[in-house]
Amino acid sequence: MKYHIEKNTVRETLVIPLFGRLVCSEHFPELFSDPEAKRICDSLDYDFADKRKKMESPAGLFGALEVAQRQYDLRCEVEAYLRDHPRAAVVNLGCGLDDTFRKCDNGACLGYNLDFPDVIGVRDELLPAGDREQNIACDLNDYSWMDRIDASGGAVFFAAGVFYYFRTQDVKDLFCEMAKRFPGAVLAFDSCNERGAKLMRKTWLKEAGITDVSAFFSLEDESELIGWSGRFRDVTARSYMRGYRDIYPSVGLFHKLMIRFCDSLVGMKIVRIGFRKEGIL
């Protein structure tokens, strides 16, 4: 039996980025291959017709490109860390239906997928935990989840489209606690500037019915983070769409213009924070 997805529910919001990765693999097969996204979408009792029509418009397809490229970027960060720490914990903060751990699994690392209980309930049905993998229901602002992470072999944390919904102070507190609890670890996440935040509030956040606009984190310059904690070893950032591989030559004129817009005006980046090793403050 196929898994039913009701319209206008949390389950539907989880399906959108998943479907975006599928659409990208169909339209840009030389850039993206995601058979797992296809497998899950095929297993759902859900009418994708309206979503496909919107997502295959020029603007919609760029949104799908963003989703797929973001996963690629964060996967690069995870794989880079695993080259030096093959037994590390790979921790997906606000995982939704993302399968980055499985794409990066080297046969020795540990995977942790964290999200709210209702999201993990859906994930357990569609992406049940495999070997060396756990799906953990939690609130990221309740730090008890950190007790469940085995970081004896190191840890790499990543978050895709998550911290936008956090107040800046909550982001700061979370990052500082992680740096304290996981010395030598790395955290990677996506961000945009305040202009990008305003644009999101006026467009898809409004359409999604999200009204708590005060809970929206933005970042003008990654160097702002350096002063947050003496336990931050370094903070770096790369272009969201061109920093890990340059997809600019592979897309059409409209999408080239959108990439320039995101780089120059919206400040879309992947930010990486390295935590100092224990004993160094």
Enter the DSSP assignment of 277.
P
Least confident of 70-74, 185-189, 217-221: 217-221
Residue pLDDT, tens place only, 220-240: 999 999 999 999 999 999 999
pLDDT of residue 213: 46
How would you classify the pairing of strands 110-115 and 133-137?
Answer: parallel
Burial class (CB in 10 A: 0-12, 13-18, 19+), 167: middle
204 — pLDDT class (breaks 50, 70, 90): low
Residue pLDDT, tens place only, 25-78: 999 999 999 999 999 999 999 999 988 998 999 999 998 999 999 999 999 999
Rounded Cα distance, 174 and 165, in Å? 13
Mean pLDDT in the chain? Answer: 91
CB 186 within 8 A of CB 157: yes
Element (H, E) at 234: strand 232-239
pLDDT of residue 164: 87
167 pLDDT more than 80? yes
Query: Residue 9 contacts by C-beta under 8 Å, 6 or more apart in sequence?
Result: none
Residue 92 has φ and ψ, to the nearest 5°, of: -95, 105
6 — pLDDT class (breaks 50, 70, 90): confident
Q: Please count the other Cβ atoms lying within 10 Å of the Cβ belonging to residue 238.
A: 17
Of all residues in the chain, the percent with pLDDT exceeding 70 is: 93
Question: 73-275, which class in CATH?
Answer: alpha beta
Rounded Cα distance, 189 and 174, in Å? 13
Q: Is the pTM of this model over 0.75?
A: yes
pLDDT of residue 1: 77
pLDDT of residue 216: 76
What's the helix, strand, coil split of the chain in %, to 5?
Answer: 50, 15, 35
Average pLDDT score over residue span 250-254: 95
Average pLDDT score over residue span 192-216: 64
Average pLDDT score over residue span 212-216: 54
For the chain, the domains span 73-275
Of all residues in the chain, the percent with pLDDT exceeding 90 is: 79
Q: Which two tokens stand for residue 237?
A: 């950032």
SS3 126: helix
pLDDT of residue 111: 98
Residue pLDDT, tens place only, 10-22: 778 888 889 999 9
How would you classify the pairing of strands 269-275 and 232-239?
Answer: antiparallel
